[in-house]
Structure 1
Amino acid sequence: MGTTFTPAKTSPTSWDAFGDVDAFVDAVLAELAAMASDGTRSTRSGPKPPLTGAALRKAILAIWCVAFCGMQWRAIGLLCDIPFGTLYTLFARWSRIGLWRRLLNRLILGWRQACGDKVMPSAVIIDSRSCRSAPTCFGRGFDGGKKIKGIKIHLAVDKYGFPLAISISPANRHDSKGIVPVLHQLADCGFKGTALGDLSYRGQRLSKAGEALGIIIQPSAGGHGGTFIPEGIRWVIERSLAWISRYRRLNTIFERTEAHLVAFIEIAFISILSRRLHILPT
């Protein structure tokens, strides 16, 4: 059974990732400035000066293009006239210091406050998506149900479809096991409530693991006879998975580390959220 609250209405305008890409760049620049002011982001040392001004904006846009267009680092480096090693180093360094997660958390908080909600939701929705991966990927498994050899993305989203926790596992790991790191991330950020999911999350072992963290696992059937039937607010995570499928870097996985794959997922949601907040009526 679902809960009584309803998801927010989406914008009636058509979806265009390039429409407000400047909002994404501005959000990243603002977060970089905030991290520099509080000492989280230290100044890079080296023989070459750090990118600033228009060059830095171009580098951020290039990283976004890698996520959305699925371009190779070498190709985008040639197009934007910035060495691909510089672009990849920036992306890796920002991922290591937690820029994307911090920015995503701030944008989610801003969206929830704009919609009149509390900082922490009372319920989340959990699900997973299996993705094909290249042989060079950090880990691979075979999902027998979906006939996919690759990895599996586990998400926990709020009622608006934005992720509060993300975890990665080989595709052959069952959902009830792969979701456990997500539950720990939720508990670490202070979530205490209900996690709604499909029947893959049944079982006493998962239920007890959730109860130990203050989270109640509430599985329910999401369809009948092969037909998807929306159950309460369970459908919003299906929309979230459809959102990230538009970002080509997240369809076939080439990343060699889990951290970089999670970073690209966060970049996708940052792009969506920054656009929404940009067009939000004041």
Structure 2
Amino acid sequence: MGTAVKTARTSPASWDAFSDVDAFVDEVLAELAAMKADGTKPTRSGPKPALAGAALRKAIMAIWCLCFCGMQWRAIGQLCDIPFNTLFSVFARWTRLGLWRRLLDRLRRTWRLACGDAAEPTAVVIDSRSCRSAPSCFDRGFDGGKKINGVKVHLGVDKYGIPLAVDVSPANTHDTKGILPVLCELSGKGFRGSALGDLGYRGKRLAKAGQKLGITVEPVARGHDGKFLPAGICWVVERSFAWIANYRRLNSVFERTKEHLVAFIEIAFVSILSRRIKRLVTEEVCA
């Protein structure tokens, strides 16, 4: 495992998520078609016909706007002329079927191959971030160190900052306990390697739990005298949290279920990757 991060070449452009929102919609439609082909997406039952054509594209774009703009379900329903309960039902159903997780995994592999790497990493970086949440949120706790009353997002990312596993817990959960579901998810996907984290992941109990899953937890010092110092590839997870901070729905959490919050985190990274893959520059091969 090296410390260098060599990303694929992309066409230059300013950071404007709205400029390539069609790329996000196209990737979601392609994944829905793949799920329908392999039987993962069962036929919808009900008196009303399923969304299709322009209405389906509008619904996907509305879900993206919910994540990026932090709008309410009722407000986006008024703007896109689709009943908000229809939008929410579509989002909840796709989340239950695992659409966002499946799409994110496919785009992550595509991006890694475009960067000249193997499809799956041999090491991940783990960390957490506390976010404020509303009293109506599915769960909350008080993080005494950050003085935040809310939830804590736990990520396990590769060297490009793309998550392989995501989990959420109350903000008062210690990192060594909150990261265990992430390690279990990584192990369930067949990952066997090193998990690099800060010194908050020290402890024999976490090390033994990681060994049982085939994962070596390696605490790495990332600072000195209260200052952050990048060490190896450990800094990439900090950049990942900075990326999702641009998506307003993830700054103050209002979700009633943990699964929906995780889904919006995955949607944010799908949006980022779909823009990158659309802007890939094909290398010209000289004869």
- Normalising by structure 1, report the TM-score: 0.97
1:135 aligns with 2:118: no
Q: Distance in 1 between matches of 2:6 and 2:126?
A: 18
Q: Specify the alignment match of 1:7 in structure 2.
A: 5
Question: CA contact under 8 A between 2:25 and 2:60: conserved in structure 1?
Answer: yes
Q: 1:266 to 1:220 in 2, by over 3 A?
A: same
1:226 aligns with 2:205: no
Q: Distance in 1 between matches of 2:145 and 2:6?
A: 32
Identity, % of aligned positions: 69
Runs of 4+ residues deviating >2 angstroms: 8-14
Q: In the TM superposition, what is the alpha-carbon distance from 1:118 to its structure 2 partner?
A: 1.2
Deviates more, 1:7-16 or 1:109-118: 7-16
SS in 1 for 2:131: strand
Q: In the TM superposition, what is the alpha-carbon distance from 1:5 to its structure 2 partner?
A: 3.5
Q: Distance in 2 between matches of 1:187 and 1:57?
A: 35
Question: CA contact under 8 A between 2:198 and 2:220: conserved in structure 1?
Answer: yes
Gaps of 5+ in 2: 283-287
Q: Distance in 1 between matches of 2:263 and 2:276?
A: 20
Q: In the TM superposition, what is the alpha-carbon distance from 1:7 to its structure 2 partner?
A: 1.5
1:115 aligns with 2:82: no
Deviations 1:7-65 (A, max 9, x none): 23475532111111000000000000111111110121111111110110000000000
SS in 2 for 1:127: strand
- Paired residues in the alignment total 280
Q: Specify the alignment match of 2:64 in structure 1.
A: 64
Q: Specify the alignment match of 1:76 in structure 2.
A: 76
Match runs of 1:11-22 below 5 Å:
12-22=12-22
Deviations 1:109-153 (A, max 9, x none): 111111121122111000001000000000010000000000000
Deviations 1:51-80 (A, max 9, x none): 110110000000000000000000000000
Match runs of 1:151-190 below 5 Å:
151-190=151-190
Letter in 1 for 2:257: T
Deviations 1:165-193 (A, max 9, x none): 00110000000110001000010111111
SS in 2 for 1:126: strand
Question: CA contact under 8 A between 2:7 and 2:115: conserved in structure 1?
Answer: no
Question: CA contact under 8 A between 2:101 and 2:263: conserved in structure 1?
Answer: yes
Deviates more, 1:112-121 or 1:57-66: 112-121
- Normalising by structure 2, report the TM-score: 0.96
Gaps of 5+ in 1: none
Q: Specify the alignment match of 1:196 in structure 2.
A: 196
Letter in 2 for 1:183: L
Q: Specify the alignment match of 1:266 in structure 2.
A: 266
Q: Distance in 2 between matches of 1:220 and 1:34?
A: 40
Q: Specify the alignment match of 2:101 in structure 1.
A: 101
Q: Specify the alignment match of 2:54 in structure 1.
A: 54
Letter in 2 for 1:247: Y
Question: CA contact under 8 A between 2:110 and 2:119: conserved in structure 1?
Answer: no
Q: Distance in 2 between matches of 1:67 and 1:55?
A: 19
Letter in 2 for 1:21: V
Letter in 2 for 1:7: V
Question: CA contact under 8 A between 2:193 and 2:215: conserved in structure 1?
Answer: yes
Q: In the TM superposition, what is the alpha-carbon distance from 1:225 to its structure 2 partner?
A: 1.5
